[in-house]
Structure 1
Amino acid sequence: MLLVMVWKPYISFLSVSTLLRINMLAEAICAASFMSVYIGYLHQYNSLNSEPDILKSLYSPLQHSSPLEGLRYHDGSRLSDQQMALLQYQRENLHFLSEEVLRLQECLSKYERSDDGSTPQVDLAHLLAAREQELRTLSAEMNQLQSELRLARSLIAERDSELQQVRTTNNQYVEENERLRAILGEWSARAAKLERALEGERMSNLELQKNFSTSRSQSHVSTETSEKR
């Protein structure tokens, strides 16, 4: 903003929004530059604390010393421990390489020709025949597995068709059960109506019997009265 105020007579033809954008762009560039420098120093600082590397130790005499080494490796005991670890790693690596060289030499001695120019000590034809036999065996096993896989797929398809038939039959049974339940409900309703009608008829019969008994007793009394007269 101070630069904008100082250069205002020279940039008066620009609008305020343009000036603000230029200012924000300059600030972003400066921030990115400072961040890049900081990340570079931080990466260089952290790379000094890495694990022992044999290639780094071999090439170290050809490289210039870093100005940040004094910030990390100021302790002599820690540096000696790292050197011991690096030496142990180099010894193990040399031991492994020597064993690998011996193994390769042994393999090479098996395949090199004898002094009289005869065939190799190892019968390559026999090895090739053995490999071909193994390949044929593996091919036969693969064919058998493929046939078993096809059989399993056919069985799975058959089971799926049977399961579909069972589901269809089950759906038919469910529909039949629903129909029978509807019929049973209708018959239950009819039975309830018949029971109510029967109960009504029974009550009416009782009323008729009661009325008949009453009328009979009254007629008997009237008959006895007329006979006495």
Structure 2
Amino acid sequence: MTSTDEGRALRFSEVQAEVEAGEGLADWRMMFQTLETRFATGDFARGLELVARVGGVAGEVGHTPELDLRATTLHVRLISRDVFGVTRRDLALARAISEVAGELGISADPAAVEIVELALDTPELTEVKPFWRAVLGYSDHPLHDAEVRDLAGNGPALWFQRTEPHDTPRQRFHLDVRVAPELVAPRTEAALAAGGRLVSDEHAPAFIVLADPQGNQVCLTTGLGRD
């Protein structure tokens, strides 16, 4: 493996193949530009112990994780921000983190991983994007012009979906809920049981469109079928 390959942003399908192959990545889920999991620590003291061990392996690997420690959980996000994606460095660190968590008897709960995004339908993004970037204190996405992000924190991304000009009250905001592929079916079943309806599965498995009883729409999205 060359140093160039080690620092290359991997495609979703490349990482997904290694996750599904069980090559030390069963705890993790690829979430477009990040690799994430959540560990069920049980209490804060064990969480601190895991953080300390993660810090140690991060130093050995020479890569930095993004950690969110709560009372009974530790959420770990891995990304190589120099290329704004997941690289071989992230995969190596993920495997090392899972190993130390296993040594401590701490289990991962990858099904808890999700990212909520906001999408604004607009016929012309250049007209509205500067306002939203300013009012949210966000930055331009490093790779995609039609998106602004909280690069320094964990606020939901806002992206702009092109649509035909229209008069209100047509819906303009909808939610994109990004989940691991295996969660789409149970989430859909639960939504339908709660009175929702399937609007479209034309673009599955990349995304499906659901609507609540009043017609407000949401997309359940995955990385499958995108590359």
TM-score (norm. length: structure 2): 0.17
Which of the pair has the greater relative contact order for Cα pairs under 8 Å at 6+ separation?
A: 2
Structure in which a larger fraction of residues adopt helix: 1
Larger Rg: 1
